[in-house]
Structure 1
């Protein structure tokens, strides 16, 4: 009874005041996998409407996980082929996609077993926000491709895991709908548009909706050659909720054409001025770019190669991390994404200069397989694995990890 009351309170908190719209129904298909308490609140979860016969996941359930690698193939059975290719695929020959994983294998953690340190403490903080662990959820577009609850489900899972969710400009649901669907801290990711009026509107809406920072993505002035999309003749079966009425619809080609093809330090200053929020510059691989961003007013740097989806042949984020961290010299926090699948990866990233890591595709797959509960399951699993690694490596806190030397 006590556990049911706790679950009821958590669901109430995470769904407070959800904004319904004409495009989003109020009923979610409820199956046997949902708990009675979750089912009682199902009318508050949005259900997106697809075109062309597209059918994404509907289950809301906790997941049994052995690792966050095999979850991809499980998700492939739930997400339609075109959508899965869009999510899982990389650019070109996908060398960078593979290298993001392989780079972690070239560094080792030396166990420390006589430190006398006890139970670990995963808690972390970034830009004044306290979170359960140094793991946040990256911005990822079109989450309705994975599950009928789309970004509302992702936001609920992140809130249940007491961490930050970053919402993409090209989300299925609007930023206002996602903000109202779940509690917990959120950042808004901006793909800078050619029309400054659109940019200004997006930034002001994000601040009004309660987003705590802007993640300015700077590595998307052109779109990588994602061959899976061409092979699958993929078109989005859903609109982009933040850009309705701006000529984008669900047409990814029209959307890409609207992205700014030139981004410099002035863009960072523009975002700062128009939003009045901290700006995280995402898509950094070069120490010089990191320093340019900081001089322009960036509050944090996100080392990212878009999960291997942009410039194939570019180095893994973990490979460039030490050089960027040395240049940044703790002036601002560093977030690293792309390739995180293991607690060991998180540990190695923090030991090499990152302050926080961003989780991408595994959270997407968790959403596909189990809705918000699936996302929460993925976060819990990665936190458990990180906790185990820390215990065996002799690191009691996140700060201890940062003082660790890798072999």
Structure 2
């Protein structure tokens, strides 16, 4: 059976990011929408990811002569127009016929970073060609097959990606009841799997796809990816200071604080709750990227003030993609930037470095 999804290509009006979810639900196939939206088990951690931002307060500073905010920043020497980047996520083709091609274009138009997933609906080299010259990272779900890992890394290097994201919190999928209730199976192929001659994922559930993934991660895997790629390696899925230090000592060039958007271990802490302790342990030895639950500009501000260097968004990008294609993706980043700019100016901070020096209470 053919799978039909959005082909919209236009900017979208956004009152707030939270409101996008209902708009997308009303126009998307239920199983596909559930796969994108859901969290694990009772979704407690999913909810805590956003609620936890209420536990900290921004103390506004005045009389600082600030007429506008400057959102520009960088990572690994790569200039970005905003600290808000796209978090890698699977199967953008569920949301839009052009999938990751439009996401990459939208992120490039916003002056920010696109991260391609192993489980994308688009070949990673095709996504790179869609936005020539724009910075892109590649997220690898390492396989039990070392030959496949090497194939993917070499493919990513040829595509010109600037860093490798090594996801370590997904040795298997969390227990996601919505997928079970809808009997969700991926209706579209995953070209990065098919390119190696593997089964392309079409007609499979996420648990079947994860069955081929590596489960027995060890610190030396970080060095393997560094040697294969010759690129910075960011370890994604860090939720404890101890693991951050282990990753750094093994050669990690970046730490990505994330609980996978509440999609894996339910009952674990919100990402924002553990960010300050991880940042203290890292002590500026490497950049920190943060995700999970970010829905407001003030959430971005609070994450930066708590030790993050960049803040990634996942579901909001996919919702923007569904509603407006590449321009919808750009609209989502524009809205976050608008809210962040207002927050920065009212808080008395002109630059992203000023935000990082802010103490929350």
* Same fold by TM-score greater than 0.5: yes
What TM-score results when the alignment is normalised by the length of structure 1? 0.86
Per the TM alignment, residue 81 of structure 1 is displaced from its structure 2 partner at its CA by 0.3
Q: What is the distance in 2 between the residues matched to 1:255 and 1:276?
A: 28
**Which among 155, 169, 184 is matched to residue 234 of structure 1?**
184
Q: Structure 1, residues 68-111: CA drift from partner, whole Å, max 9, x if none?
A: 00111111122210000000000000000000001001111111
Q: Which residue of 2 aligns with 1:34?
A: none
The aligned residue for residue 38 of structure 1 is none
Pair 1:319 & 2:261 matched: no
Match of 1:257 among 211, 215, 222: 211
Q: How far is 1:53 from its partner?
A: 3.7
Unaligned runs of 5+ residues in structure 2 are none
Q: Do residues 372 (structure 1) and 326 (structure 2) align? A: yes
For 1:201, the equivalent position in structure 2 comes to 151
Residues 318-370 of structure 1: CA deviation (Å, up to 9, x unaligned): 00001000000000000000011100000000111111100110001000000
In 2, are the aligned partners of 1:248 and 1:255 still within 8 Å (CA)? no
Q: Distance in 2 between matches of 1:181 and 1:397?
A: 31
In 1, Cα distance between the equivalents of 2:28 and 2:7? 10
When structure 1 is superposed on structure 2, of 249-258 and 227-236 the one drifting more is: 249-258
Match of 1:247 in 2: 199
Residue by residue over 1:204-230, the C-alpha shift from the partner in whole angstroms, topping out at 9 and shown as x without a partner, is 110011011000000011210011000
Aligned to 2:283: 329
CA shift at 1:54, angstroms?
A: 2.4
Structure showing greater radius of gyration is: 1
The alignment partner of 1:350 has SS state of helix
Listed as ranges, the matches of 1:152-163 within 5 Å are 152-163=101-112
Match of 2:24 in 1: 75
1:343 maps to 2:297: yes
Distance 1:128 1:299 in 2: 13
Which residue in the other structure is 2:255 paired with? 301
For the Cα contact (< 8 Å) 1:301–1:334, is it kept in 2?
A: yes
CA distances 1:285-316 after superposition (whole Å, capped 9, x unpaired): 01011011111111110000000000000100
Q: TM-score, normalization: structure 2? A: 0.97
Task: Return the alpha-carbon distance in structure 1 between the equivalents of residues 181 and 3 of structure 2.
Answer: 17
Matches within 5 A, 1:77-92: 77-92=26-41
Deviations 1:260-308 (A, max 9, x none): 0111111111111111110010000010110111111111100000000
Q: How far has the Cα of 1:117 moved from its partner? A: 2.3
Gaps of 5+ in 1: 1-51
1:248 is displaced (CA, Å) by 3.8
Runs of 4+ off more than 4 Å: none
Give SS of 1:242's match.
helix
Residue number in structure 1 paired with 2:160: 210
Asked if 1:185 corresponds to 2:135, the answer is yes
**Equivalent-residue separation in structure 1 for 2:31 and 2:184 (angstroms):** 5
Please give the root-mean-square deviation of Cα atoms over the aligned residues, in Å.
0.9
Corresponding position of 2:88: 139
- Give the count of matched residue pairs: 356
Residues 156-201 of structure 1: per-residue CA shift (max 9 Å, x gap): 0000001110000000011111111123110000001000000000
Contact 1:351–1:404 (8 Å) recurs in 2 = yes
